[in-house]
Amino acid sequence: MEIKGVKASLGRAKGIVKIVLNKDDLKKVNDGDILLSVMTTPDFVHAMKKASAIVTDEGSILCHAAIISRELKIPCIVATKIATQVLKTGDLVEVDATNKSVISIIKRRQEV
């Protein structure tokens, strides 16, 4: 399955999804994770530095997530609309922000 969005920073990355919906969730982001949120704010920057890619439901090419990811030189896809609803924390995905601008699910999180 693929989720489409708008590429805001070029690149490709593979990693575990961490959904950030509040400030407490920011602590859960580890090095190399894919940070997924509705949209980012300046409070997110520390976690964004650890992420290998950033994906948001909202935003545009000039939104906070887009600007910071270009500064950090990590891939970013914005305006997916549904990513936080379709993906779950723990899913393994590939973010392709080169030509395609899609997030592909490689492996779903194992439900215990």
Partner 1 sequence: MQLLLKDTYLLDAKNVEKDLIRLWKRYQYILNNPNWEDLNEARAILYLTGRIYCEQIVPEAIRKRLNQLKKTISEIEFYTAIDSNSKDLKTYRKDKLFSKLEKLYLIVKKYKNKETSGQYYLDEERFIELYDQYRPSKDLKVGFRGKYGKELGKLNK
Q: Is 22 in the site for partner 1 (CB under 8 A)?
A: yes
With a CB cutoff of 8 Å and minimum separation 6, the contacts of 85 are: none
- The alpha helices in the chain, defined as continuous H runs, are 45-50, 64-72, 83-86
Classify the C-alpha dihedral 48-87-21-38 as positive or negative. positive
3-state SS, residue 9: strand
CA 16 to chain centre: 10
x/- track of binding to partner 1 for residues 40-59 (CB under 8 A)? -xx---------------xx
x/- track of binding to partner 1 for residues 58-97 (CB under 8 A)? xxxxxxx-xx--xx-x----------xx--xx--------
Q: Is 1 in the site for partner 1 (CB under 8 A)?
A: no
Nearer to partner 1, 2 or 71 (CB): 71
64 is catalytic: yes
Binding site for partner 1 (CB under 8 A): 7-10, 19, 21-22, 38-39, 41-42, 58-64, 66-67, 70-71, 73, 84-85, 88-89
